[in-house]
Amino acid sequence: MKSSIFTAPISRLKEFNNLFIELTEKNCNQRCKHCYINFPLSKKVKDFIPIDIIKKALNDTMQENLQCIYLTGAEPMTHPDFNSILRLCLKRCNVCICTNGSFINEKKARFLKRVEDESNFEIIFKLSIDHYNEIKNDDIRGRGTYRQVLNAVKSLVKYNFNPILCITNYYKEDKNILLAEFKKICDKIGFETMPHNFAINECYEKTKQIEINSDKWESLDCEYGRILTTKGIYTCPFLSNDHRGRCGSDFTDFSDKTLLETSLCANCIKNKNLMFGINFTSFNC
């Protein structure tokens, strides 16, 4: 008799290289159309992770081969202790700030360079921008965001940072065209780019249930890392604070297995490669 029970593929943590830390679950100054976070109506949510939880996590993961700590959110730079957290994490390994760029101007970039110079590791930036056309970008991310992020890029480049532009392919356009047009914009502002300066991801459709119809992928974020939030440990930023991605309360005892059963997982599988982590083999930082 044919079984109708659906068996979801399983992913296992192959190596714990990426530690994501959610500095705030809901606090963001933007409301992008494609964001997977369900925001409260009020923009004034103060749900910042206490620094002691981060200190404990860094201690508990001492034996892991961490390559990069990712400061994520919502918008991580809204955390009131952002600078202390950054310095703390830089004692351990490279730190990637995943930001919308709105808190970065020349003064901040100069300060961040000083912080990096005090450390043996690097600060990497992943900046969100979704279209090379200002009107199309601002339609997705909000008015003025295009100029803000390009200003952030210019400021970072001035202080010798080498940011990665994270592009969500909201309009489902040809990736080669997107890359070529983004390259032109970067050339105009004096940012010499290589292919690894762009990370284009498929757009997650919030309301559409996508079925998992393949167990083939190159790499998934849940195979190379975990995310720490105020509520515990989860498989990846997509499933942070979602019971389906729960791995445990802290890093002394957490699950290394994940059942790929959500439509977010289907999106990752469709994307084939890491959506949040950096592929360091192609990025010579």
Query: Residue 220 CB, nearest distance to ligand SF4 (Å)?
Result: 4
State the minimum distance, in angstroms, from the CB of residue 270 to ligand SF4: 10
**Count of C-beta atoms within a 10 Å radius of residue 107:** 9
CA atoms within 13 A on the CB side of 223: 18
For position 265 contacting ligand SF4 by CB under 6 A, the verdict is: yes
Burial status of residue 260 (CB atoms within 10 A of its CB: 0-12, 13-18, 19 or more):
buried
User: Alpha helices, DSSP H only, in the chain?
Assistant: 51-60, 82-90, 106-117, 134-141, 145-158, 175-188, 221-224, 263-271
For position 57 contacting ligand SF4 by CB under 6 A, the verdict is no
Binder to ligand SF4 among 19, 74, 152, 264 (CB under 6 A)?
264
Least distance (Å) between residue 194 CB and ligand SF4: 26
Count of residues engaged in binding ligand SF4, rule: CB under 6 A = 15
Per DSSP, the three-state class of 69 is strand
Between strands 257-259 and 232-234, the pairing is unpaired
89 binds ligand SF4 per the rule CB under 6 A: no
In degrees and rounded to multiples of 5, residue 32 shows phi and psi of -75, 145
DSSP state of 253: B
Pattern of binders to ligand SF4 over 173-212, x per CB under 6 A? ----------------------------------------
Contacts of ligand SF4 in 220-249 (CB under 6 A):
220-222, 235-236, 238-239, 245
Give least dist CB 258 to ligand SF4, A: 5
Q: Closest separation between CB of residue 131 and ligand SF4, Å?
A: 24
Give first-to-last CA distance, the chain, whole Å: 55
Question: Which residues of this chain interact with ligand SF4, rule CB under 6 A?
Answer: 11, 220-222, 235-236, 238-239, 245, 258, 260, 262, 264-265, 268
